[in-house]
Amino acid sequence: MINFETRPEEYKHWRLEIEGAVARLSMDVQEDETLNEGYKLKLNSYDLGVDIELADAVQRLRFEHPEVRVVLVTSLKPRIFCAGANIYMLGTSTHAFKVNFCKFTNETRCAIEDASAHSGQRYVAALNGTASGGGYELAIACEEIFLVDDGNSAVSLPEVPLLGVLPGTGGLTRLVDKRKIRRDRADVFSTLAEGLKGKRAKEWGLIDGYFPTSKFQESVNEHVQQLVKESGVQDQKGIRLNPLEVEVNADGREYRYVSLKLNREKRYADLTVRAPEGETPATIEEIEQLGDAYWPLRAYRELDDALLHLRMNELETGLVCLRTEGDGANVLKVDETLIKHKEHWLVREITLYMARVLRRLDLTAKSFFALIEPGSCFAGNLLELALSADRTYMLNSPDEEVSVATSEMNRGALPMSNGLTRLQSRFLATPEKVAEVFAHEGSFDTEEAEEAGLVTFAPDDLDWEDEVRVAIEERTSLSPDALTGMEASLRFAGPETLDTKIYGRLTAWQNWIFQRPNAVGPQGALTNYGKPTQAQFDYKRT
């Protein structure tokens, strides 16, 4: 079972050092400390375990070290920054693991860009040696890239010429969308296994600068200090992210505010999020005192962990039924506080994190049904769970209260990968309905929610159990491959962004390519990498 929790004291592959407003995040992969057996992590190549640590570091820098203005990403190994994802790891992994591995690494790089865009933590890549494949994709997720000019070091994306696959962490998209590199040059670069060195790499826009070995560290440090000076001093005091408390059993996972119940024999799971109980903090002082125990941060950290567990460890669970429990009024009070104090750094980071977790749900290759029943609290930020679902079922009962409610958090604080809110994405054809939803006074009962377009079906209490049961059985009987493709196509209507291109386009292509004989067959490029035999391709274009 893969565990996604770690902390700096337990890192095996990264060293995190904080010096005032500068954080140095140094890659030093221990080749024998692999997540699985059968390969060694040479040349700072990485597997999922390496990236779990990186994701943790990015997250902790935002919450525990808000004073940091610049994050310098570099390597402790001489003449090598990062050789990218370990090829032997990929070659021996299952198809599902490869796809989920790429998706997680993509989310980590998007989190780096999110920190640069919203948290004032600028990431700078100091490439003290060659950065190839995923190593360059890590660098290109940073705002700036500087390469040592030692006559050998280069940047490259060699996946197409060497492995018969695509750069799996958004490299192609970031070349043309983020760094605005000409298409013809990007074509050459992406088919040139050896990559490009300092001068040419700078001319083509692949890096922002290069320095000779003798002046590399000094020049990078000077630039970092200039960035710190421009950003100004930040004197916020961070909060500690403590380990999650989770009780694991054969049938699921139980957290403080989240429950995951696995119905493995029926290939679906119940994922329940509970509202806060009692009085909720109303002031910054109260929030800071609670730290990571504050409901929105703790509940969404638990939800994040449960989603990652479902992705990597419960592959045959094809459907997740989203449920909520508790007092929706308490959820709405939390939302009021988050909106009121949205300019405070900690509230900002909590809200940004909630948005990232909801996007993780959007990007998860599982079907999601939201079930709204008596005792549910799909209100405000938790209403986003229902809006994220592929379908929503809401009980229509004359005898019991069943309702949903919006808050200011639904207006734009928790955007999807396409840059729209979930309500905007829902009503692309009738955008006026978004304003109508917010104009509604109070909560929506079932009939009002159905009329407003907030739910898919509203069975009465006589039909509820049978209709939900049949829906679950029908969904779990369909092809998981077809469902993944269908859901990924339907979830991101509207404008295309760098993120939707990476997850909708790249993930879909890579999912297909990872199964093709040209990549993973007996004569495939990925299979034959590092062997005396050469790849043999079927040259028919499809």
- pLDDT tens-digit series, residues 195-207: 999 999 999 999 9
Predicted confidence band of residue 345 (pLDDT cuts 50, 70, 90): very high
Pairing between β-strand 252-254 and β-strand 258-263 as defined by DSSP bridges: antiparallel
> What confidence score (pLDDT) does residue 481 get?
92
- pLDDT tens-digit series, residues 176-223: 999 999 999 999 999 999 999 999 999 999 999 999 999 999 999 999
Residues 6+ apart with CB under 8 A from 170: 106, 109, 110, 137, 140, 141, 498, 502, 506
Q: Higher pLDDT residue, 443 or 236?
A: 443
- Quick check: 356 pLDDT over 80? yes
Distance CA 533, CA 5 (A): 40
- Quick check: 329 pLDDT over 80? yes
In this prediction, residues 468-493 reach a mean pLDDT of 94
> What confidence score (pLDDT) does residue 236 get?
85
Other CB atoms within a 10 A radius of the CB of residue 372 amount to: 26
> What confidence score (pLDDT) does residue 235 get?
78
Distance CA 38, CA 16 (A): 28
Asked if 250 and 264 count as a contact pair (C-beta separation under 8 A), the reply is no
- pLDDT tens-digit series, residues 168-178: 899 999 999 99
Distance CA 72, CA 25 (A): 6
Asked if 514 and 164 count as a contact pair (C-beta separation under 8 A), the reply is no
Asked if 528 and 534 count as a contact pair (C-beta separation under 8 A), the reply is yes
- pLDDT tens-digit series, residues 278-305: 999 999 999 999 999 999 999 999 999 9
Handedness of CA 209, 214, 219, 220 (dihedral sign): positive
Predicted confidence band of residue 407 (pLDDT cuts 50, 70, 90): very high
In this prediction, residues 480-496 reach a mean pLDDT of 91
- Quick check: 234 pLDDT over 80? no
Handedness of CA 501, 421, 363, 512 (dihedral sign): negative
In this prediction, residues 338-357 reach a mean pLDDT of 98
Predicted confidence band of residue 232 (pLDDT cuts 50, 70, 90): confident
Predicted confidence band of residue 156 (pLDDT cuts 50, 70, 90): very high
485: exposed, middle or buried (Cβ count in 10 Å: 0-12, 13-18, 19+):
middle
> What confidence score (pLDDT) does residue 262 get?
98
In this prediction, residues 476-497 reach a mean pLDDT of 92
Token pair listed for 41: 């992590």
Other CB atoms within a 10 A radius of the CB of residue 297 amount to: 23
- pLDDT tens-digit series, residues 64-86: 999 999 999 999 999 999 999 99
**CA-CA-CA-CA torsion for 56, 58, 64, 65, nearest 10 degrees?**
150
Distance CA 454, CA 250 (A): 35
In this prediction, residues 231-238 reach a mean pLDDT of 82
> What confidence score (pLDDT) does residue 504 get?
85
Token pair listed for 253: 């996972």
Residue 517: alpha-carbon gap to chain centroid: 29
Q: Is 208 left (phi over 0), alpha (psi -120 to 50) or beta?
A: alpha
H or E element at residue 130: strand 129-132
- Quick check: 542 pLDDT over 90? no
Predicted confidence band of residue 402 (pLDDT cuts 50, 70, 90): very high
> What confidence score (pLDDT) does residue 26 get?
98
Other CB atoms within a 10 A radius of the CB of residue 431 amount to: 10
Of 200, 185, 73, 77, nearest to 140 (Cα)? 73
> What confidence score (pLDDT) does residue 96 get?
93
Residues 6+ apart with CB under 8 A from 354: 296, 300, 381, 413, 414
Distance CA 144, CA 340 (A): 34
Of 97, 3, 483, 41, nearest to 268 (Cα)? 483
Predicted confidence band of residue 492 (pLDDT cuts 50, 70, 90): confident
- pLDDT tens-digit series, residues 34-54: 999 999 999 999 999 999 999
> What confidence score (pLDDT) does residue 414 get?
98
When the pLDDT of each residue in the chain is averaged and rounded to a whole number, the result is 96
Of 260, 255, 248, 268, nearest to 366 (Cα)? 268
> What confidence score (pLDDT) does residue 506 get?
87
Residues 6+ apart with CB under 8 A from 518: 164, 524, 525, 535, 537, 538
Distance CA 37, CA 244 (A): 27
Domains belonging to the chain, first-starting first, are: 8-231 (3.90.226.10), 247-484 (3.90.226.10)
> What confidence score (pLDDT) does residue 541 get?
87
Of 140, 4, 7, nearest to 84 (Cα)? 140
> What confidence score (pLDDT) does residue 508 get?
86
What are 211's strand-pairing partners? 148
Q: With pLDDT > 90 as the criterion, what percentage of the chain qualifies?
A: 94
| Terminal Cα distance for the chain, rounded | 37
